[in-house]
Amino acid sequence: MADIQQLLQEIHNCPVATSIRNGQPGPCQTIVLSQTGTTFHSPEPWSGQITTAPILFLSSNPSISEEEMYPNASWADEQITDFFQNRFSSPSGWVDSNLCALKRDGTRTQWVRYWAAARARASEILDKPKPGIDFVLT
């Protein structure tokens, strides 16, 4: 499990993204520089229990919200790991059962369509799949 936590942290703390934010060109600069807000949302490694979930969705999810509670450089490693590994099942309540994400002000976003679509696809294979447990998003 230590290896998966190390990989999660390496992706989250991507040196290429950091270099681009510091003015150096890089292969994903269009995506990195598309964030114009005050708080940079670090690269997302995955959401869910990647080592045990039977389904893995690989996709581009272009939504980003300055309002969402999302890891940034000020978060502790343990909190970052909890967010990505347990995003849909953590007692911290990152995402509720209606697929609404926690906002920085403590309220909730509207339900996330991409997560609902992934759950619908997973339900074609599994009975009542649980996000983050039965399927992982990356």
Parent domain of 34? 2-137
pLDDT digits (tens, 9 = 90+) for 110-132: 999 999 999 999 999 999 999 99
Beta-bridge partners for 135: 55, 131
pLDDT at residue 31, rounded to an integer: 87
The mean predicted confidence, pLDDT, of the chain is 91
Q: Given this model, what pLDDT does residue 61 score?
A: 64
Distance CA 59, CA 36 (A): 23
Tell me what pLDDT residue 64 has: 76
Per-residue pLDDT of 59-112, as tens digits, reads 876 567 888 999 988 899 999 999 999 999 999 999 999 999 999 999 999 999
Task: Supply the pLDDT for residue 62.
Answer: 58
**What token pair was written down for 136?**
């992982």
Predicted confidence band of residue 34 (pLDDT cuts 50, 70, 90): confident
Report the pLDDT value the prediction gives residue 126, as an integer from 0 to 100. 97
Q: Which residue has the higher pLDDT, 47 or 66?
A: 47
How far apart are the C-alpha atoms of 27 and 79, rounded to whole Å? 28
Domains: count for the chain:
1
β-bridge pairing 135-137 and 55-57:
parallel
DSSP collapsed to 3 states, the chain? CHHHHHHHHHHHCCHHHHHHHCCCCCCCHHHHCCCCCCCCCCCCCCECCCCCCCEEECCCCCCCCCCECCCCCCCCHHHHHHHHHCCCCCCCCCECCCCEEEECCCCEEEECHHHHHHHHHHCCCCCCCCECCCEEEC
Amino acid at 68: E
